[in-house]
Chains A and B, each alone.
Chain A
Amino acid sequence: MPTFIEHEAQAASNLAFVDEIFKLSDNDGLRFPDWYATVCFYTAVHVIEAEIYQMATVYYNFNGKPMALTGKIRHSSDFKLFLGRTTLPTSPHFYRRLVVDDSRNGFSMDVSAAYNSLYEYSCKARYECFKKCHKNVRRSKEALDKIVAFHKSKFQSALP
């Protein structure tokens, strides 16, 4: 299980890659806008996982009931060990979303919206194959900046 420091290190590495992709342009603009959005999303994933790693208590809802797990969740993938319903999804993306959307975990609406936007942009490349999604480049960066700024306001962070 990666630690807070390891999640941050991966996020920092991804941020450097985001900057590198941004330099790769041709006459149409950025050469790999779809991958830009995807790397931004996975950077956000590591930032959020770093936050989850530090949470003493993680709040979520199950069957409409507010729940809390103390000292048990260090990563979104830990949830499936503590929830009894077998038909629930196994993907950590599902549980990360539950955490980010729950205001009791301290994420602002802005941060939730930014995370949800990045998830959408990263997945949209699958459905938009006839043109480069340049619009999502600016938006992806803005959304990622919000998440990183939020994180840095809470923790002594190694992120640039």
Chain B
Amino acid sequence: MAETQEKNLTESEEDKNWSVAFDMGREMGFEEGKEIGRKEAFDMIADRFFYDKFDLSNTIQCAETFIKRFNESFADYSIASARIGVAPSSSIPTAFFVLDVPENISDEDDNRIDALKREVELSFAKRNPGHPVCVWSVEKSSVDMNSVESDFPFYRKIV
């Protein structure tokens, strides 16, 4: 029983990690069959938008790490949109978040969010040297979603 639970948990975590590519594959019209949709979408996104599959996978994992740590640390706030793409001016793979936080968020919490982004970026830089990742966020109240969607087209459906 314990073994089954552990296995399910692992599969669910893996699904989460791949959900960005999988969701995009479904939207691009790939068939619902999970394996085919996921693989084809992942390959296409990696080829067209990132340098290689490692960079795409690395960025997704970085995004997942931020989501997990944000949700653990900021119970009163939420992530309205989690996206990935590349920064337009540098082509650095980027995890981009639209945060649902109050407009009058305290400086202290704002600083903690900033520190979390830098911590996740630098921990990934250390873990995978040579593969920089940016972790950026904007507030929902002020965002121009057209620009966001254009630069960071791949998103996670459920954050």
A residues sitting closer than 8 Å to B (CB atoms) are: 60-66, 85, 87-91, 93-94, 97-98, 101-102, 109, 112-113, 116-117, 119-120, 123-124, 126-131, 133, 135, 139
Q: A89-B51, A97-B92, A112-B122 are in contact. Are A64 and B132 (CB under 8 A)?
A: no
CB contacts (< 8 Å) of B148 on chain A: these are: 127
Once the chains bind, are B129 and A61 in contact (CB under 8 Å)? Answer: yes
The answer to whether B117 touches A120 (Cβ under 8 A) is: yes
Given contacts A91-B90, A91-B91, A123-B89, whether A101 and B132 have CB atoms under 8 Å apart is yes
The 7 closest A-B pairs by CB, nearest first: A61-B130, A93-B90, A61-B129, A89-B91, A113-B118, A101-B125, A131-B142
Interface residues of B (CB under 8 A from A): 51-52, 87-92, 107, 110, 114, 117-118, 121-122, 125, 128-132, 134, 136, 138-139, 141-144, 147-148, 151
Do A128 and B143 touch (CB < 8 A)?
yes
A127 in complex: contacting residue of B52, B92, B147, CB < 8 Å: B147
Q: Which residues of chain A are near B51, meaning CB under 8 Å?
A: 85, 87-89
A135 B90 Cβ-Cβ under 8 A: no
Interface pair A94/B91, CB less than 8 Å apart: yes
Q: Is there contact, CB below 8 Å, between A113 and B130?
A: no
What residue of chain A has the Cβ atom nearest to residue B105's Cβ? A135
Q: Which residues of A contact B132 (CB under 8 A)?
A: 94, 97-98, 101
Q: With a CB–CB cut-off of 8 A, which chain B residues contact A133?
A: 142
Cβ B92 vs Cβ A94 within 8 A: yes
Among A66, A91, A93, A129, the residue within 8 A (CB) of B129 is A66
Residues from chain B with a CB closer than 8 A to the CB of A90 are: 91
Which chain A residue lies CB-closest to B96? Answer: A127
CB distance from A44 to the nearest CB of B (A): 14
B144 touches A127 (CB 8 A): yes
Min Cβ gap B7→A in Å is: 30
Cα A101 to Cα B107 in complex, Å, equals 27
Q: Indicate if the CB atoms of A130 and B117 lie closer than 8 Å.
A: no
CB-based contact B144/A130 at 8 Å:
yes
Q: Of A64, A97, A109, which is within 8 A of B128 by CB?
A: A64
Some 23 contacts from A to B, beta carbons below 8 A apart, are A61-B130, A64-B129, A66-B129, A85-B51, A87-B52, A89-B91, A94-B91, A94-B132, A101-B129, A102-B129, A112-B125, A113-B121, A116-B118, A117-B114, A120-B134, A120-B136, A126-B88, A126-B147, A127-B138, A128-B138, A128-B139, A129-B147, A130-B143
Q: Chain B residues near A89 (CB, 8 Å)?
A: 51, 90-92
Q: Contacts A64-B130, A124-B136 hold; do A109 and B122 have CB atoms under 8 A apart?
A: yes
Query: Using Cβ atoms and an 8 Å threshold, which residues of chain B touch A139?
Result: 114
| Nearest chain B residue, comparing its CB with the CB of A133 | B142
